[in-house]
Amino acid sequence: MEQTHRVEELIAPSLEALGFELVRVRFGGPGRPTLQIMIERQDREALTVDDCASASKAISALLDVEDPIGGAYNLEISSPGLDRPLTRIGDFERFAGFEAKIEVTLPVDGRKRLRGQVLGVENGNVRISRDEGSHSVPFETIKKAKLILTDELISSAQPQKRM
């Protein structure tokens, strides 16, 4: 975990200067491990192959000099996709109204896995609506969260057609 945090601190300023936001860093995998860097554009436009290439070039240069990983690995730059992870508190505001799966460290109504509609953020707590009512989950207790691919999510991502 500390390794990925060091990578985040190292690459985030360069990504921001290029017009990207860091969504997530992961490291691991069988055999030769992979360093996965998930980014999105600051202007919220679709990430292109050229975007990934420019980010990869900048990140590779930083990682080669600082070497926070130590050892051989594959570098992978990707977009979060539609059923994206929700990693920042702002993601829960931005994607309010959409369904998500959330895994928490402290049980909510006896459950550590929740599924429901994201309602937004209030006083540092993520609000989620489930069949049995709405819940307030402290952001710092969220271990993992991601959007669920639904027709509504797909529709929201498609460009509007002009008549």
> Tokens 């979060």 belong to which residue?
80
Convert the pLDDT of each residue in 115-162 to its tens digit. 999 999 999 999 999 988 899 999 999 999 999 999 999 998 876 544
Convert the pLDDT of each residue in 43-61 to its tens digit. 999 999 999 999 999 999 9
Mean predicted confidence (pLDDT) in 99-105: 97
What domains, with CATH codes, occur in the chain? 2-78 (3.30.300.70), 89-157 (2.30.30.180)
Contacts of residue 51, defined as CB under 8 A and 6 or more positions apart, other chains included, come to 20, 39, 41
Q: How confident is the model at residue 103 (pLDDT cuts 50, 70, 90)?
A: very high
